[in-house]
Amino acid sequence: MRADAQAQPNIALIKYWGKRDIEQNLPAAGSLSVTLDSLWTKMSVEFSDALPVDQLVLNAAANDEMLPRISACLDRVAGTDRLRASVESESNFPIAAGLASSASAFAALVVATSKAAGQESDTLSLARIAGSVSGSAARSLYGGFVELQASDANIDVETIAEAGVWPLTVVIAVTEEGAKPVSSGEAMIRSAANSPFYSSWLEQQPADLVSARNAVLRKDFAQLAAVSEHNCLKMHSVMWASRPPVVYWNSATLSCMEAVRHLQDEGHAVFFTIDAGPQLKAICLSDETDLVRSALDGCAGVVRTMVSGLGAGATLLDSK
């Protein structure tokens, strides 16, 4: 009746931005990400016939705000006629601030829920359920370099290269710890509704995916850097041009971008990406890690940096 699971957030290099079906939360296009290793979310789920309602404890504090999404996810895995559950979640990084905390949370939640409900579910089925709650969460079921393909009916997700095959490092520059002003879901719907760039964004997505996939398979850092930065900047252009506009960056985000450009000009293997928040993620070859970290630490407005390698998909943990 109780199970524990752990998942790591993932950082998209080719972004998911836009929904084909809002009701089912199906992405309008594919995406490609790397799963991290040193940031994690642990989830424990315990079903009990003594509970009148679901309960959520997030980082040791009761939380009712996130509970509806958690309950909806429990329903999708265990059915609406399930027992009520006590869910406890712990993360070692800030949540709701553009660090993909919903990805690791819902990936860990589907794995723990399925086990606590006594099911033997396959990874893709769980990824599809996680994705129906938070699109990027589907990718955190898998480790390493992960590609998500979107079709009319469903998504397919797979690891295209294991983490150990190309051990890149991700340096995260945290520029603001608070929650973001507009949720990614709401911002995506706004982009699709009125950004003049949305349709060309979607048209170009398949070609960007092919380019990134080939770059990963050939370990071509320069190609991966070029297509990833281009894809990130296109996604933000789509949202900047929506009405009302969505601008997640702050001045420190731009300082970090400039620092990465400077390192690139000096010939270092590093590139940036930015998600629905003001944090900048620099991806580099592992021997560049210290240099990249100190450059980002030196940028005005950076609160702190975090370093992660690439890691595994969601896993069950031994229950306490």
Binding site for ligand PMV (CB under 6 A): 12, 15-17, 31, 100, 102, 134-136, 184-185, 275-276
Q: Are 239 and 246 in contact (CB under 8 A)?
A: yes
Contacts of residue 26, Cβ cutoff 8 Å, sequence gap at least 6? 19, 20, 132, 150, 154, 155
Query: Which is closer to ligand PMV, CB of 46 or CB of 275?
Result: 275
Q: Are 307 and 293 in contact (CB under 8 A)?
A: yes
Query: Shortest Cβ distance from residue 37 to ligand PMV (Å)?
Result: 17
Query: Which is closer to ligand PMV, CB of 6 or CB of 228?
Result: 228
Query: Shortest Cβ distance from residue 265 to ligand PMV (Å)?
Result: 27
Cα 138 off chain centre by: 9
Cα 261 off chain centre by: 24
Query: Shortest Cβ distance from residue 27 to ligand PMV (Å)?
Result: 8
Distance of alpha carbon 26 from alpha carbon 59, whole angstroms: 29
- Which DSSP symbol is given to 80? T
Contacts of residue 221, Cβ cutoff 8 Å, sequence gap at least 6? 215, 269, 285
Query: Shortest Cβ distance from residue 278 to ligand PMV (Å)?
Result: 12
Pairing relation of β-strands 84-91 and 55-58? parallel
Query: Shortest Cβ distance from residue 139 to ligand PMV (Å)?
Result: 8
Greatest alpha-carbon pair distance for the chain in Å reads 63
Query: Which is closer to ligand PMV, CB of 186 or CB of 290?
Result: 186
Q: Are 66 and 43 in contact (CB under 8 A)?
A: no
Best CA proximity match to 313, nearest among 32, 155, 103, 100: 103
Query: Which is closer to ligand PMV, CB of 147 or CB of 288?
Result: 147
Query: Which is closer to ligand PMV, CB of 56 or CB of 150?
Result: 150
Query: Shortest Cβ distance from residue 48 to ligand PMV (Å)?
Result: 30
Query: Which is closer to ligand PMV, CB of 281 or CB of 293?
Result: 281
Best CA proximity match to 273, nearest among 309, 308, 231: 231
Query: Shortest Cβ distance from residue 110 to ligand PMV (Å)?
Result: 14
Query: Which is closer to ligand PMV, CB of 31 or CB of 253?
Result: 31
